[in-house]
């Protein structure tokens, strides 16, 4: 752990993003070791995407996670949809309509975002891209394309820290610096939509974000697409994303995934063949 911290201090923005995911993966693997013990007591602990399912009431910082039931059913979250709405936060739409809300987390660029945007344009699908400051600085043309093609660009913090550890002043700065950078680039205000880095949050943290005028968006459908050194095959991706899709799903995907860039057009076609169509996060905000 000391070595990881030393490397973290010396890392570039891209390396910081990768190390953050690595640290989260190590924590997830530790929690996964508890599965056997919980299973004997009827527990439902599962690693999904970047997160782990634990308690519904948070007394300390946790990573957002999901518990899955029958195929096609809405998964359970760390908190219920009703609890989250008290903080202007969402993880799923309250609907039986076959509608999906597509979102991407953008930490840095590996050359796959253009293919993702091409597929979205081909299917006339509008998505939300949660970006960090590094992405705004290093990939301005892609951000401009997102806006020009009708997508929403939203706030994923400037430096991708654990936001639950920050003082109020530091938290405000993370969000404001990112919003300011977007305005400098695009010439308009960034929408007040927020996704917690690494999915880390507490209810107190959500309340602070809410008081700043933000709506927080978690997710109800994701898969292990974030590890750039261990990308899932196409079949593995489809197995997760098709079997676990459900009405009202907020879908989290990563733009750094080679697999996502390769399957996006086919994935959208498959979802459409299943009767799904696509909405925008603004539909969830009162």
Task: Clarify whether 160 is annotated catalytic.
Answer: no
pLDDT tens-digit map of 110-149:
999 999 999 999 999 999 999 999 999 999 999 999 999 9
Which residue is catalytic, options 134, 160, 215, 254? 254
Task: Choose, from 88, 105, 162, 225, the residue flagged as catalytic.
Answer: 105
* pLDDT of the residue at 61: 78
Mean pLDDT of the chain: 85
Domain boundaries, the chain: 79-284
pLDDT digits (tens, 9 = 90+) for 62-103: 889 899 888 888 999 999 999 999 999 999 999 999 999 999
User: Which one of 1.10.260.40, 3.20.20.370, 1.20.1250.20, 3.40.1280.10 gives the CATH number of domain 79-284?
Assistant: 3.20.20.370
Please tell me what DSSP assigns to residue 284.
G
- What b/e readout covers 122-132, taking b as 16+ CB neighbours within 10 angstroms? ebebbbbbbbb
Strands 89-90 and 215-217: parallel
Residue 88 falls in the annotated catalytic set: no
SS3 state of residue 121: helix
Q: Which tokens go with 217?
A: 């968006």
Amino acid 30: pLDDT: 34
CB atoms within 10 A of CB 39: 11
For residues 46-55, give the mean pLDDT.
38
Q: What percent of the chain has pLDDT over 90?
A: 75
Phi and psi for 256 in degrees, rounded to 5?
-85, 0
Strands 62-63 and 200-201 come out as antiparallel
pTM attached to this predicted model:
0.81
Residue appearing with tokens 């999904």: 48
Structure tokens belonging to residue 120? 């979205």
The pLDDT-based confidence of 32 (bands split at 50, 70, 90) is very low
The per-residue pLDDT for range 155-179, each reduced to its tens digit, is 999 999 999 999 999 999 999 999 9
């Amino acid at each position: 752990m000391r070595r990881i911290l030393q490397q973290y201090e010396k890392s570039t923005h891209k390396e910081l993003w990768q190390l953050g995911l690595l640290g989260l993966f190590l924590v997830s693997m530790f929690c996964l070791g508890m599965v056997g013990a919980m299973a004997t007591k009827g527990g439902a602990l599962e690693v999904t995407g970047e997160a782990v399912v634990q308690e519904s009431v948070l007394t300390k910082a946790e990573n957002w996670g999901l518990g899955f039931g029958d195929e096609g059913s809405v998964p359970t979250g760390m908190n219920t949809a009703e609890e989250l709405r008290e903080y202007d936060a969402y993880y799923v739409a309250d609907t039986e309509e076959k509608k999906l809300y597509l979102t991407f987390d953008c930490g840095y660029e590996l050359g796959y975002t253009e293919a993702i945007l091409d597929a979205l344009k081909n299917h006339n699908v509008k998505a939300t891209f949660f970006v960090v400051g590094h992405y705004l600085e290093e990939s301005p043309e892609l951000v401009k394309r997102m806006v020009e093609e009708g997508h929403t660009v939203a706030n994923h913090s400037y430096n991708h820290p654990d936001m639950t550890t920050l003082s109020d002043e530091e938290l405000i700065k993370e969000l404001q610096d990112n919003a300011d950078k977007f305005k400098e680039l695009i010439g308009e205000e960034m929408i007040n939509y927020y996704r917690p880095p690494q999915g880390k949050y507490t209810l107190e943290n959500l309340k602070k974000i809410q008081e700043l005028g933000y709506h927080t968006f978690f997710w109800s459908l994701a898969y292990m697409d974030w590890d750039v050194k261990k990308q899932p095959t196409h079949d593995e991706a489809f197995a997760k994303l098709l079997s676990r899709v459900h009405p009202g799903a907020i879908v989290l995907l990563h733009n750094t995934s080679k697999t996502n860039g390769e399957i996006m057009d086919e994935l959208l076609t498959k979802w459409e063949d299943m009767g799904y169509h696509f909405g925008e996060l603004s539909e969830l905000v009162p």
